Every structure is written in structure tokens, then in C-alpha cells.
């Protein structure tokens, strides 16, 4: 008799476990849907640091535009060339680093955000002035480190540079 009660109790316990787990699943599924809907309206993850990074972008743009706008006589001096190279190295270095890091950290969406963040009208001016300054010989690609050089080379592709610095200025 004990043996029959033991099997009957085990059977009842197994039914309770199966019934209980099937009742929990719809709730878990409903909870997943709730989290998914909430995350659709959540801000993008990179926006948490934007208040710290945006001033760096503004500073890089400002320093690049200031250096590229200096008078030709000053820009051709060794001090002027150094200012141009330093400002462009900072600008293009920051731009390259953010493009790379945002894409690594947040995938294609992060990469697209970084591209858009560096596509303002001031960025267009920096690119145009970089091409003009390069074609006049105020700097060469050899003046830059690898990180900035790659992006500057992309920007000035198709431009020819004089053999000597400031030769065309």
C-alpha cells in the first residue's frame, strides 16, 4: 500500500511542477515583451557620455578652423606650420578615434552616430580648408601620426601637393 501511495504522490507532484511551469512561461514572455517595448523608447547608449564628448568635438573644430584661417605669411613660418599640424592632428585624431571607438562599442548604430556627429557644416569647412592648405604645401602627410594621417589622406585624396612646403603659397 505504501508503494502505491508513493507512486501516486510522485505522479501528483510531477503534474504540479509541469502545470506550474506552464503557467509561469506566459508571464516571462509578457515580461520580455514589456522590456523590449521599453527599450525601443530608451535613449541610445552613447548619449550618456555625449555631454563630455561634444565639447571635445567643438574644441577640435574651433582649433582646426582657427589654425586654417591664419594669414598666409604666418602659416608658412615654422611656428605657423606647427600650429596647423597640431590643430589638424588633434581634429583628425579625435575624429578617427571616435569613429573607431563608437563602432567598436555600439556596432553599426554607434558608427553612424559618430559619422553624423562629425558631419556638421564646420566639419565641411575644415575638410575644404584642409584640402586647400595641403594643395598649397603648408603641410605634408608625413607630418602626422598614423591615426590622423589615414583620415587626412582620405580627405585630401585627389589633391596634389607641391614638392616643398609653402611652395604654392
Cβ neighbours of residue 145 under 8 Å, at least 6 residues apart?
89, 93
Q: Are residues 29 and 73 in the same domain?
A: no
Q: Would you say the pTM of this structure is higher than 0.85?
A: no
Distance CA 105, CA 92 (A): 20
Q: Are residues 90 and 125 in the same domain?
A: yes
Distance CA 134, CA 83 (A): 14
Q: Are residues 141 and 104 in the same domain?
A: yes
pLDDT along the chain (169 residues), means of 10: 59 56 54 56 73 94 96 87 95 95 90 94 97 90 92 91 62
Give, in order, the Cα–Cα distances in Å from 30 to each of 37, 134, 160: 11, 60, 62
Structural domain containing residue 31: 1-42
**Residue 161 falls inside a structural domain:** no
Amino acid at each position: 500500500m505504501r508503494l502505491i501511495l508513493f507512486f501516486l504522490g510522485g505522479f501528483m507532484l510531477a503534474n504540479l511542477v509541469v502545470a506550474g511551469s506552464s503557467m509561469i512561461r506566459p508571464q516571462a514572455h509578457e515580461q520580455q515583451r514589456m522590456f523590449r517595448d521599453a527599450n525601443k523608447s530608451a535613449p541610445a547608449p552613447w548619449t550618456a557620455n555625449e555631454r563630455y564628448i561634444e565639447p571635445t568635438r567643438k574644441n577640435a573644430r574651433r582649433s582646426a578652423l582657427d589654425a586654417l584661417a591664419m594669414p598666409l605669411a604666418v602659416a608658412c613660418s615654422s611656428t605657423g606650420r606647427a600650429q596647423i599640424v597640431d590643430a589638424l592632428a588633434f581634429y583628425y585624431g579625435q575624429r578617427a578615434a571616435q569613429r573607431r571607438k563608437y563602432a567598436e562599442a555600439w556596432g553599426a548604430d554607434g558608427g553612424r552616430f559618430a559619422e553624423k556627429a562629425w558631419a556638421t557644416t564646420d566639419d565641411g569647412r575644415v575638410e575644404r580648408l584642409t584640402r586647400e592648405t595641403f594643395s598649397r604645401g603648408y603641410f605634408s602627410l608625413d607630418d602626422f601620426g598614423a591615426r590622423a594621417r589615414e583620415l587626412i589622406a582620405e580627405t585630401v585624396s585627389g589633391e596634389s601637393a607641391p614638392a616643398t612646403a609653402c611652395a604654392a603659397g
